[in-house]
Structure 1
């Protein structure tokens, strides 16, 4: 056998083989004369090389299953141990024969239990061997490797030993090596009263976000062993039980005793149990029973918050909770313990929805650590950027996986925030003279404004659905793309001419302002759950009539926007074509600008050559409307000879109007007809 923990050899009670692996009987001289050893066939040559043995002979082969129940002699003590079978035996390291000590390993404990092999408890709570360990009695296990190896050498059982680096469990807090030691504990059975089956049924009635959370927790419950709820600690919630000193059976009046202990703890605190004289509760039985000093698993503590928090505080709403939210590691922790205690007590889950998120890592995907110097303090980010930048960064990430953060990522988030904030500044700045009573009805709006209204309605619908699905990164992406693509790069750019050059009270300008007001009142509500402080600031700067007397955006309710659905579908299809053409026009204008053929886009007229279906859509809009949308002085539409879309950029005809900068025929006033009419009024 092979082990990295010689100190566990005294507790050996079996040797495990894999039933499906092939084993070889090997004749060899390892320094003790001719011997015959059983090794996994695939490992023979590697083992011989490690031991420095050049000459050996394989005599026979068999399956591991053929050796089950074979009796072996313990290498130190005068007793026999059996060969048992376990799937945990692999060819990753060692010899294919695994030293098995149920006292000191989970796999050893489980495979031993299958063969009726229990624990022998040779190691005490202080880490030293008991007298039952013979020559090792009183030796601390940390110092036992040497004495054990010496005993093996003395008995002629040590074939080879060496020091090498390998993985070993350590305490996460003190960084010291751990000792696995089997001890008596209290358990909640997963199957005795159908707790496992009932919990699996309850899982199906819960909404899991992301959806893979359901598969994960179901797999855990299907494989979960009985729940060990006891701990040996000097602090914590006590397990208020009395057990018989000889039989360890529970006191027959346990239920009533637990209630009395609970009343004492409610009055005097946790120490009431530890200070309690058993005779005060047990009377004459006190001589036969002892007080349990174990404490509850802290996951049991947190797992009953549905009782200690929700059920005892009606003001919090209800039981079950709307949502439990934690990191993805809590499927095995809080979510599982809460579900078990609630199903066990009330036959239902304690939550309607469970949302899990990944963990924060640095820009390279590494865990944050002071030693690596990659920790980013939220307080520093708030100091530099403001709290809403952290909120926007958190919302922009897909929390279904680990979330990266770095100075570069925060800079990008800050830039995204700036673009959203600038959108609000534009909206606020261009409705300064607008009153809700001046709003233009949808059916009287120019077509572009109707499209903008339907686009906004689509955004409200998508964002609402994403919030309902807890997909905050989709909320962020939808709002950001809307502000940058639909608004800044298109609609807001196009309507500047109407806002700044049309008559202040004209229907065209009021229509644009109507749309801007709708955008403002909807967007500020949509971003409020994420950009809470910015939204509140925007709300305070909004014209009073648009706030309708509501003090805070967080009290304003969710936006609703109704548009004719048939018209919305028609415009979405048409403007899909228009915007594709506009993209090509923008590229052509940029190329002309780079070639110094034009300066501003108003200095150009464009000739769009397209297939019949595209020309038909463009013609329905009209060349004047297209010129406004393309921000050029004129648009001409011609057939495409090859069926492909192309754009020619030519110098604009006419002269530059000094007021609107468009190229038009100028009148006696030196202005274009539109500007002359506005100025004359």
Structure 2
């Protein structure tokens, strides 16, 4: 019944309220944010003093008087309030309302209100003009129904496509980022501060037209005043504020806005501001996308992760990183955030001294990524007791008994099955030795997978399980072997040596597995077990630090395990396959190829289709296209899995092998990839069915292609080189060598140069054909043939068998 009623406002007489025509807007409206659980069910609207109120005001076209300046002082136009601090006038406002007869009742009422988390001061909302990057509309339809035209008009959907290309750890990070993109408003990129990134936005003082300046060169070109004040300074206040430019609309003077950039705007540009994106694109492509980034996730899905992805979407429509790794927050042991004022904060220097840095590292590795970590000295003691002390005890056990027995390993140059083992390990006949070495191989595989998957707990858990086996089972069950007296029994002596060799191998290899996580403890173990022992032997060969050693390797994983690991990231897998094709086919990375062809299942094909340009750049091909079937790229041979079908069919096994050869291979492979069984009729008239895991599919690349495939994804490169492709490949090799000369000459990234060269035949033709491209890439003002090239740096080399002399100098 109240909807539509008009009313008189309590401060309609104030000049600012009159000027805003606010009294005309005094009527009752409905709002979903008003509820019955709290308050009276009626609220006043202050569009100039709150985000929700402001959005409601926009919906109903309400005026939005903004009463406060940045110090919380009432501005001009608010009568007796002008010049007063907002925190000091509450009771005077009540008194004013009472005097005007507009106060029904005054009751103190406690309600939720924002407070500064640092000092506890109440916060106030104020309306200010800021600069935003438009995220575009959110369509009321499923994302898959958004058309290309609609997507082009909405940055948020373009960002979603890039988010799809990233591997999120934990996996729920993907949905959190998508949820933010579905619900976020435009991105505010400005702040009312003095220090910070000076936004390159100039506004006309006459017509209010604004322009965004691209770089310093453009600013210099367009400057009409103030350049002499700015020249020689970084683009920060106050110097950059002195530069004025002419308005292209009205000819008036344009001045830089006083705002600085939101810090996340700057932080989000790291993939393009730090790795030569504008000056050396080939170098930049080596770094972007980054392999991995990591940050605490509670706020980063809407801060750093979001800003990185947004900037990269705008620039290149690619992810800034292949993997985004998030983790929860570090809290104190009492379950609260750490605050100095609460007395529960721990400073790093104190923790390092009292806990030990490796203990802290292991605490972090044992933490689930999606749970807050409770950090403190009690937790450190628990970690030390559970892992660090048992590890050291096993090490001390070996060292003490080896010293007593005078046992030392036979050092060698060998690179045994466990990596850079400093002994030639003789397999032991003892059951416990064989068991612990088998467990060590399993642990190598598990920890390697944990490291490579960027899941710390997947490193810590198998390590702790192995240490438990080692200390609580192997050592305990082998003590008597180490205790046995020497010289009394040859078999016992041999068994004791086998135990020492086994435990030595285990300790050295386990230390290498732990080195990335426990760098100091593992180094201490290695120095004593390897370096000190090696120094006593003239024939010993060893590395001076554990961190110089190769990481241990284990027995190969099964095909099923390998496929499972490799199928975690389809896009990256495709790029990796493409590079492996080049390596196996002896195709140089810089040699452009005509095309790459991909066979993939529909879901992966859909994912890859969004990255064809990226794949083309990554693989250095002119085109990436899909084929319907893997059989268009390879020839198949179907073979029975002998170890399975041999025992199953016995004497009829040769008939099975022969029946497989009569199938149409491509059709059979498609069925197997779909998980279907094959029906075969044998020559004896019987019918059988074979499951996918009972048939081995062998492939061979068709002529003219180099092919690699894994997990249902196949990548083929067209190896045919046209004269044009050969020329471009030669030109890129020249570019690389000129860039190396620039580095050797210690030129600045922006230095312009002159290049002289001497070349003949195809190389000379290639340089001539790609003269402009070469010059553009290396920032050359001149690229000239010369009989005797000379400059600051000179290189004599061959490019694919063609002799060349290159020289560079500053222009």
Quote how far apart the aligned CAs of 1:105 are: 0.4
Quote how far apart the aligned CAs of 1:135 are: 5.0
Quote how far apart the aligned CAs of 1:524 are: 0.7
Q: What is residue 158 of structure 1 aligned with on the other side?
A: 103
Per the alignment, do residues 528 and 126 of structure 1 end up closer, same or farther by CA in structure 2, a change over 3 Å counting?
A: closer
C-alpha separation in 2, matches of 1:464 and 1:271: 47
Q: Does 1:466 align with 2:450?
A: yes
SS in 2 for 1:322: coil
Per the alignment, do residues 274 and 115 of structure 1 end up closer, same or farther by CA in structure 2, a change over 3 Å counting?
A: farther
Quote how far apart the aligned CAs of 1:186 are: 0.9
Quote how far apart the aligned CAs of 1:155 are: 3.8
Q: Does 1:105 align with 2:89?
A: no
Q: Give matches, 1:390-409, under 5 Å.
A: 390-409=360-379
Per the alignment, do residues 143 and 564 of structure 1 end up closer, same or farther by CA in structure 2, a change over 3 Å counting?
A: closer
Q: Give matches, 1:533-612, under 5 Å.
A: 533-543=520-530, 548-562=541-555
Q: Does 1:499 align with 2:482?
A: yes
Counterpart of 1:86 (choices 27, 31, 56) is 31
C-alpha separation in 2, matches of 1:533 and 1:89: 59
Q: Deviations over 1:422-443 (max 9, x none)?
A: 222334456633326885655x
Counterpart of 1:521 (choices 508, 513, 520) is 508
In the alignment, is the contact (CA less than 8 A) between 1:368 and 1:375 conserved in 2? yes
Counterpart of 2:219 (choices 254, 260, 264) is 260
Per the alignment, do residues 320 and 92 of structure 1 end up closer, same or farther by CA in structure 2, a change over 3 Å counting?
A: same
Q: Give matches, 1:139-178, under 5 Å.
A: 139-178=84-123
In the alignment, is the contact (CA less than 8 A) between 1:440 and 1:510 conserved in 2? no
In the alignment, is the contact (CA less than 8 A) between 1:440 and 1:507 conserved in 2? no
Per the alignment, do residues 362 and 135 of structure 1 end up closer, same or farther by CA in structure 2, a change over 3 Å counting?
A: closer
In the alignment, is the contact (CA less than 8 A) between 1:361 and 1:404 conserved in 2? yes
SS in 2 for 1:351: coil
In the alignment, is the contact (CA less than 8 A) between 1:76 and 1:155 conserved in 2? no
In the alignment, is the contact (CA less than 8 A) between 2:190 and 2:262 conserved in 1? yes
Per the alignment, do residues 203 and 519 of structure 1 end up closer, same or farther by CA in structure 2, a change over 3 Å counting?
A: same
Quote how far apart the aligned CAs of 1:107 are: 0.7
Quote how far apart the aligned CAs of 1:321 are: 1.7
Per the alignment, do residues 532 and 87 of structure 1 end up closer, same or farther by CA in structure 2, a change over 3 Å counting?
A: same
In the alignment, is the contact (CA less than 8 A) between 2:206 and 2:252 conserved in 1? no
**Higher deviation after alignment, 253-262 or 229-238:** 253-262
Q: What is residue 295 of structure 1 aligned with on the other side?
A: 260
Q: What is residue 454 of structure 1 aligned with on the other side?
A: 438
Counterpart of 2:303 (choices 315, 333, 338) is 333
C-alpha separation in 2, matches of 1:168 and 1:77: 26
Q: Give matches, 1:381-420, under 5 Å.
A: 381-415=351-385, 416-420=387-391
Counterpart of 1:216 (choices 171, 176, 181) is 176
Q: What is residue 9 of structure 2 aligned with on the other side?
A: 74
Quote how far apart the aligned CAs of 1:173 are: 4.3
Q: Does 1:320 align with 2:285?
A: no
Q: What is residue 563 of structure 2 aligned with on the other side?
A: none
Q: Give matches, 1:341-490, under 5 Å.
A: 341-415=311-385, 416-429=387-400, 432-435=407-410, 442=427, 445-483=429-467, 485-490=468-473
In the alignment, is the contact (CA less than 8 A) between 2:167 and 2:324 conserved in 1? yes
What's the TM-score, normalizing by structure 1? 0.66
Quote how far apart the aligned CAs of 1:299 are: 1.3
Quote how far apart the aligned CAs of 1:474 are: 3.8
Quote how far apart the aligned CAs of 1:487 are: 1.6
Point out the structure with max Rg over C-alpha: 1
SS in 1 for 2:106: coil
Counting matched residue pairs gives 498
In the alignment, is the contact (CA less than 8 A) between 2:441 and 2:554 conserved in 1? yes
Per the alignment, do residues 82 and 455 of structure 1 end up closer, same or farther by CA in structure 2, a change over 3 Å counting?
A: same
Quote how far apart the aligned CAs of 1:533 are: 0.7
SS in 2 for 1:99: coil
What's the TM-score, normalizing by structure 2? 0.56
Per the alignment, do residues 423 and 307 of structure 1 end up closer, same or farther by CA in structure 2, a change over 3 Å counting?
A: same
Per the alignment, do residues 527 and 148 of structure 1 end up closer, same or farther by CA in structure 2, a change over 3 Å counting?
A: same
SS in 2 for 1:72: coil
Q: What is residue 655 of structure 2 aligned with on the other side?
A: none
Q: What is residue 665 of structure 1 aligned with on the other side?
A: none
Per the alignment, do residues 237 and 439 of structure 1 end up closer, same or farther by CA in structure 2, a change over 3 Å counting?
A: closer
Per the alignment, do residues 129 and 491 of structure 1 end up closer, same or farther by CA in structure 2, a change over 3 Å counting?
A: closer
Q: Deviations over 1:543-575 (max 9, x none)?
A: 46999522221121221233999xxxxxxxxxx
Q: Deviations over 1:47-106 (max 9, x none)?
A: xxxxxxxxxxxxxxx6xxxx5444333233172413223222223321111211111001
C-alpha separation in 1, matches of 2:542 and 2:411: 14
C-alpha separation in 2, matches of 1:352 and 1:564: 24
Quote how far apart the aligned CAs of 1:497 are: 2.5
C-alpha separation in 2, matches of 1:469 and 1:120: 54
In the alignment, is the contact (CA less than 8 A) between 2:355 and 2:377 conserved in 1? no
**Higher deviation after alignment, 265-274 or 174-183:** 265-274
Per the alignment, do residues 497 and 135 of structure 1 end up closer, same or farther by CA in structure 2, a change over 3 Å counting?
A: closer
In the alignment, is the contact (CA less than 8 A) between 2:335 and 2:374 conserved in 1? yes
Quote how far apart the aligned CAs of 1:394 are: 2.3
Per the alignment, do residues 542 and 505 of structure 1 end up closer, same or farther by CA in structure 2, a change over 3 Å counting?
A: farther
In the alignment, is the contact (CA less than 8 A) between 2:312 and 2:319 conserved in 1? yes
Q: What is residue 651 of structure 1 aligned with on the other side?
A: none
**Higher deviation after alignment, 129-138 or 521-530:** 129-138
C-alpha separation in 1, matches of 2:545 and 2:492: 30
In the alignment, is the contact (CA less than 8 A) between 1:261 and 1:273 conserved in 2? no
In the alignment, is the contact (CA less than 8 A) between 1:207 and 1:352 conserved in 2? yes
In the alignment, is the contact (CA less than 8 A) between 2:362 and 2:460 conserved in 1? yes
In the alignment, is the contact (CA less than 8 A) between 1:257 and 1:281 conserved in 2? no
In the alignment, is the contact (CA less than 8 A) between 1:330 and 1:336 conserved in 2? yes
Quote how far apart the aligned CAs of 1:319 are: 1.1
C-alpha separation in 2, matches of 1:498 and 1:564: 33
Quote how far apart the aligned CAs of 1:515 are: 2.4
C-alpha separation in 2, matches of 1:410 and 1:216: 32
Quote how far apart the aligned CAs of 1:188 are: 0.3
Q: What is residue 249 of structure 1 aligned with on the other side?
A: 209
SS in 2 for 1:181: coil
Q: Deviations over 1:438-490 (max 9, x none)?
A: 85655x6233322222211111112222222333234223223322x312222
**Higher deviation after alignment, 338-347 or 464-473:** 464-473
C-alpha separation in 2, matches of 1:532 and 1:256: 44
Q: Does 1:180 align with 2:125?
A: yes
Per the alignment, do residues 126 and 373 of structure 1 end up closer, same or farther by CA in structure 2, a change over 3 Å counting?
A: closer
C-alpha separation in 2, matches of 1:499 and 1:126: 76
Q: Deviations over 1:120-179 (max 9, x none)?
A: 233344534344334544443233323432333234332222234443323344543322
Quote how far apart the aligned CAs of 1:241 are: 2.1
SS in 2 for 1:102: coil
C-alpha separation in 2, matches of 1:462 and 1:469: 10
Quote how far apart the aligned CAs of 1:189 are: 0.1
Per the alignment, do residues 91 and 311 of structure 1 end up closer, same or farther by CA in structure 2, a change over 3 Å counting?
A: farther
C-alpha separation in 2, matches of 1:560 and 1:514: 18
Quote how far apart the aligned CAs of 1:358 are: 2.1
